[in-house]
Structure 1
């Protein structure tokens, strides 16, 4: 992985075996020689964010480690970054698809899948901030998220105001009948607006506080798990 420095860590998730995760060394790493990220509107300052382990991602991974398995369930992780929650699901035998808009996310996910001795994990491009899911003629873009899912999960994805409600529209498009949507939000401040945007698509929300003090095994955390669902259509 030329152009930047990485590190490798053993990440403990209660209930599952530790995961070996290769991530960027710090927020100063940057390499976009062909301008792929720039073309997607990803600035040099935002470029490394996908490749770091974030507290909310660990919270989501922990919940997925203990969530009861559902036969035949299809799961999608949005804004996966390093895909910690997806890797937990994959190790448990869940039919999971990881997705992100960053051009390097798939490469890091493949490497972390290999480091843990797992079979290839399905990856798709997921960009809700622009109409990247379709070509000019309305056909689905090659490699983009397609179809419907029973659970869509994400962590720390409410970092922008999203005046166009693009994320809510994306979730509506890919949520199957009776699907649940789980979002771990570290109190970014856009939660109430997002609730309203989801309500337009008939999603109701239940919030669960995830606050806890510093523990021997984990730093302090403040945030919420947002669980959305809408009535099943017969």
Structure 2
């Protein structure tokens, strides 16, 4: 690929066939010749993060593989990056929409759908900040029965943009799943979600290392709004 290097990874998720994922080679990759990422406020240091597979994303994908498909349910993944959880849900037959603010996320998703012989899946530009994105991008719209995300609380959000975005797109009775690797911003986010009318249940995730996966410590945050 022009300006950056990629690799193929074979990912096993219990409950679905193995997935082939095209990802960035490492965290040193960067290419923004048209300044798209710059215009969206994405720095050179954070630019590669979308294109790597992260432990919290694997935990979210595993949880999606366990969820029964519910006819008529719409599911949105926010900050999807390589959209591993969305690909798992899509393979199982869920009505998935993946979303991210990175200018290359859609192209990587398209290629990963092709690599796994999967049919098209909806993708939308999802930036929970108040600044409007370029008008040419298809935006997240409508309401969803389940909203999912992983490792989203890595920076302070004093204006509650993320909780507000979730609140605007959560259907009546919706559920929200956030897998978080014990970030310090979690308590503030919990308060912001409470202000949006969500109750919260927290599950500690403490996985020992196995031959197939590294150890993981974090939390599964489940929010519900009646």
Q: Same fold (TM over 0.5)?
A: yes
Shift of 1:142: 4.6
Report the TM-score, using the length of structure 2 for normalisation. Answer: 0.97
Equivalent residues in 2 for 1:37-116, closer than 5 Å: 37-116=37-116
Taking the aligned partners of 1:178 and 1:189, their CA distance within structure 2 comes to: 28
Deviation at 1:77, TM superposition (A): 0.1
Q: Which residue, 172, 176, 189 being the options, matches 1:177?
A: 172
* Deviation digits for residues 43-93 of structure 1 (CA, Å, limit 9, x no counterpart): 001000000000000000000001111111000000000000000011001
CA deviation string 1:138-180 (max 9, x = no partner): xxx7500000000000000011110000000000000000000
Scaled by the length of structure 1, what TM-score is found? 0.94
* Cα distance in 1 between the residues matched to 2:138 and 2:202: 33
Aligned alpha-carbon RMSD (Å):
1.2
2:183: which partner in 1? 188
The residue that corresponds to 1:138 in the other structure is none
Tell whether 2:95 aligns with 1:127: no
Measured after TM superposition, the shift of residue 132 of structure 1 is 2.2
Structure 2: gaps (5+ residues):
none
Task: Detail structure 1 runs of 4+ shifted over 6 Å in the superposition.
Answer: none
Structure 1 unaligned segments of length 5 or more: list them: 136-140
Summarize the Cα distance change of 1:125–1:156 in structure 2 as closer, same or farther, 3 Å threshold: same
- Partner residue of 2:34? 34
1:10 alignment counterpart: 10
